[in-house]
């Protein structure tokens, strides 16, 4: 083979490889991206989503727009995203309660495991049990006693299936009952607790911390086996009369099923690069969250686990999807 032909073939091969590389790295995003949050503004879901949107907007040089769609245990937002074009431009800021949708909603119009494609987990944190500031209890165990002694008169707020299931799991473990009052987001649920509409609620430490420090609510304990460095004065569940009660929450990203794999991988790589930044980790930590990036496959397993873990609790309390 002469040198001229060899040179020509080499150039052709290089061009082919360059084209393949360009196809493997899509021109994404080249317009605004919508990040759909299933809760009202003001809670940890909304706040952490805005941190992520801000960072991605700078990285991509494209707007990342937050759209809040609260209601129906998160199924309104999830259904909206599941039915959006599968191109990566509409993303669900997926809460832990995604796994409980089928327990609460009879006909959500979509299947969380089939109609949404996992991208990555974003962050995780611990729930804290808060009560009215004047309630005569100081531990989770004492609250259980109070609820048993005031049967039918104790109300707890929830802002999604996971927060309700966490409370119901605790109630089953400690043998007490309370009446659930659902709200359209963590912020309105917390406002109801402060206003005396409910007696207790599990919330994220992010939302609770300033109100705990101001003395407007009382924190009885974290749903974890150890204390948080962010709030070292708050007891763990193990110290507060609920040994072994450990329930965390998380947020992540999913996109419509059928989104091209190369777009999913691009989203995963870019989001995880943002989550590795010291600034983002620090801001999350200030909210009681830990950055928790995963692969799409790992996040898919986490979602599946959440869809299975609450079935027994739902059966015990006679929960019927509406």
Q: What beta strand segments (E) does 47-189 contain? A: 64-68, 90-95, 116-132, 155-158, 179-182
Tell me the pLDDT tens digit for each residue of 285-310: 988 899 999 999 999 999 999 889 88
Q: What is the mean pLDDT of residues 166-193?
A: 94
Exposure letters 264-294 (e unless 16+ CB within 10 A, then b): bbbbbebbbebbeeeebeebbbebbbebbbb
Regarding predicted confidence, which is higher, 310 or 54?
A: 54
Choose the weakest-confidence range: 19-28, 211-220, 230-239, 261-270: 19-28
Q: What is the mean pLDDT of residues 168-172?
A: 95
| Average confidence score pLDDT of the chain | 90
**pLDDT at residue 88 greater than cutoff 70:** yes
pLDDT given for residue 22 in this prediction: 42
**pLDDT at residue 164 greater than cutoff 60:** yes
d(CA 206, CA 144): 24
Tell me whether domains 33-125+250-316 and 126-239 share a fold.
Answer: yes
pLDDT given for residue 14 in this prediction: 47
Tell me the pLDDT tens digit for each residue of 100-147: 888 888 888 889 899 999 999 999 998 999 999 999 999 999 999 999
CATH architecture of 33-125+250-316: 3-Layer(aba) Sandwich (3.40)
**pLDDT at residue 195 greater than cutoff 60:** yes
Regarding predicted confidence, which is higher, 3 or 147?
A: 147
Check if the beta carbon of residue 248 is closer than 8 Å to that of residue 125.
yes
CATH code: domain 126-239 is 3.40.190.10
Q: Where are the domains of the chain?
A: 33-125+250-316, 126-239
d(CA 233, CA 196): 24
Choose the weakest-confidence range: 118-122, 163-167, 265-269, 276-280: 163-167
Report whether the peptide linkage leading into residue 45 is cis, meaning its omega lies within 30 degrees of zero: no
């Amino acid at each position: 083979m002469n040198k001229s032909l060899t040179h020509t073939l080499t150039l052709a091969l290089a061009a082919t490889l360059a084209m393949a590389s360009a196809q493997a790295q899509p021109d994404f995003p080249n317009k605004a991206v919508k990040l759909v949050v299933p809760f009202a503004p003001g809670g940890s879901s909304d706040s952490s989503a805005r941190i992520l949107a801000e960072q991605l907007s700078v990285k991509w040089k494209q707007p990342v727009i937050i759209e809040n769609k609260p209601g129906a245990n998160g199924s309104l937002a999830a259904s909206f995203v599941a039915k959006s074009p599968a191109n990566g431009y509409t993303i669900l800021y997926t809460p832990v309660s995604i796994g409980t949708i089928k327990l609460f909603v009879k006909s959500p119009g979509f299947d969380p495991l089939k109609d949404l494609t996992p991208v990555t987990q974003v962050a995780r944190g611990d729930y804290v049990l808060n009560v009215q500031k004047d309630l005569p209890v100081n531990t989770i165990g004492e609250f259980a006693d109070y609820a048993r002694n005031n049967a039918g008169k104790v109300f707890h707020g929830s802002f999604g299936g996971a927060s309700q299931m966490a409370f119901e799991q605790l109630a089953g473990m400690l043998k007490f009952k309370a009446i659930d009052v659902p709200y359209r987001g963590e912020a309105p649920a917390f406002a109801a607790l402060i206003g005396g509409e409910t007696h207790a609620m599990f919330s994220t430490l992010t939302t609770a911390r300033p109100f705990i420090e101001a003395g407007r609510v009382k924190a009885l304990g974290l749903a974890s086996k150890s204390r948080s460095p962010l709030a070292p004065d708050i007891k763990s569940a193990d110290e507060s009369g609920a040994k072994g009660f450990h329930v965390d929450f998380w947020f992540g990203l999913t996109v419509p099923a059928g989104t091209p794999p190369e777009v999913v991988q691009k989203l995963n790589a870019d989001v995880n690069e943002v989550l590795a930044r010291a600034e983002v980790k620090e801001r999350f930590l200030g909210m009681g969250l830990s950055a928790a990036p995963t692969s799409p496959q790992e996040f898919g397993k986490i979602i599946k686990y959440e869809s299975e873990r609450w079935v027994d609790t739902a059966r015990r309390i006679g929960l019927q999807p509406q």
